[in-house]
Amino acid sequence: MRWFIVVAITTLLLTLALPAPAKERTGDVIVVHGLRGLVADVYVDGQRVLEGFSPERTTDAIQLPAGEHGVEVREAGQPEDADPLLAGAIDIGAGDHLSAVVHASRGGEPQLTVFSNSLSQLPAGRSRLVVRHTADAGPIDVSVDDEMLASDLSPGRQAARRLRQPSHEVMVAAAGQPQPLVPPADVRLDEGTQTTLYLIGSQGRDSLGWIAQTVEGIASPPGGVPSGNSGLAATQPLPSGAVPAAVAGAIVMVAMLVRRRLTAAAR
């Protein structure tokens, strides 16, 4: 008994003292370009990681050590020491998956907004739709298939929903207004994928529109395959097999009785 307690305490200490796995010391960031009219060079921690980045594109995931990292955006072709058009810091936690969005602020200035992508596994058959407000526009109402997803969503905010069907219609209107700000977007969602829509552009300049980014690898397989209900292919006699056994037994007994009678009659 005593050794058991010792083992239990040791296990507890081990669990408490073990450092986090090494792979959890980095996070991923995707840069999303939602600022029309700018072809950009993107710098991370002073290094130019992407040249000639056009609007309405997203980068592959950049894996960075956990901690704070500097992001700078310059017009394409500008020297490294030129004043950046946009500079910001991204604080990456271990295991994070972030989207850093270059977009127009409420006043039309370049702005960097960082969103965290939830990478929780989706149940089999589901997709996740995320809508993010990154436009030069006031608060918005967002609906999916005529059902309200978020009302009065301010710039820099997001709303999300899990959905089953692949095809959806996303509508956006100025908060409290019935008329859509942009024509409804037809969105096709891939199962087991997170699709994020960014509202970009400017309400004042009538240039609002959508761009999208997907995150894969969060699918779950079905839990099983139910594919039979009648027992025609059963491999073993089962408890309810007692019934046929009793019938067989009865037949044998009747047969024996009949035989004895016949034998008696023959004598």
Partner 1 sequence: MTNATGTRGTACAFMVIGLLLAGCGRQVVEAQPAATASPAAGARQAGSGQAASGDTASSAQNEASQPKPDAKAAGSRIPIPPIGSTSARLSDVNPEAVLAPTRLRVPAIGIDAAVVPVGADATTGEMAVPPDAATVAWYRHGPTAGERGSAALAAHVDYNGRQGAFFRLRELPLGAPVTVTLEDGSAWSGVVQDVRSYDKRDLPVGEMFARTGQPVLRLITCGGPFDRAARHYRDNIVVSVAADA
Site for partner 1 in 72-131 (CB under 8 A): 72, 79-81, 123-125
CA atoms within 13 Å, Cβ hemisphere of 166: 4
238-267 residues in contact with partner 1 (CB under 8 A) are 238-240
**Span of 54-62, 113-121, 136-144, 171-179 interacting with partner 1 by CB under 8 A:** 54-62
User: Binding residue for partner 1 (CB under 8 A) from 206, 235, 263, 266?
Assistant: 235
Give the integer Cα–Cα distance in Å for 164 and 31. 28
User: Binding residue for partner 1 (CB under 8 A) from 27, 28, 35, 50?
Assistant: 50
Nearest to 159 by CA among 129, 120, 188, 139: 129
State both tokens at 43.
């710098």
Q: Note whether 25 binds partner 1 by CB under 8 A.
A: yes
CB of 176 to partner 1, least distance (A): 26
Beta strands in 82-146 (DSSP E): 86-92, 97-104, 110-116, 127-133, 140-144
Q: Note whether 192 binds partner 1 by CB under 8 A.
A: yes
User: Binding residue for partner 1 (CB under 8 A) from 120, 179, 227, 263?
Assistant: 227
155-184 residues in contact with partner 1 (CB under 8 A) are 164, 166
CB of 262 to partner 1, least distance (A): 38
- 8 Å CB contact between 215 and 194: yes
Q: Parallel, antiparallel, or unpaired: how do β-strands 158-163 and 47-53 relate? A: unpaired
User: Binding residue for partner 1 (CB under 8 A) from 231, 263, 264, 266?
Assistant: 231
- 8 Å CB contact between 81 and 73: no
CB of 85 to partner 1, least distance (A): 14
Give the integer Cα–Cα distance in Å for 108 and 115. 20
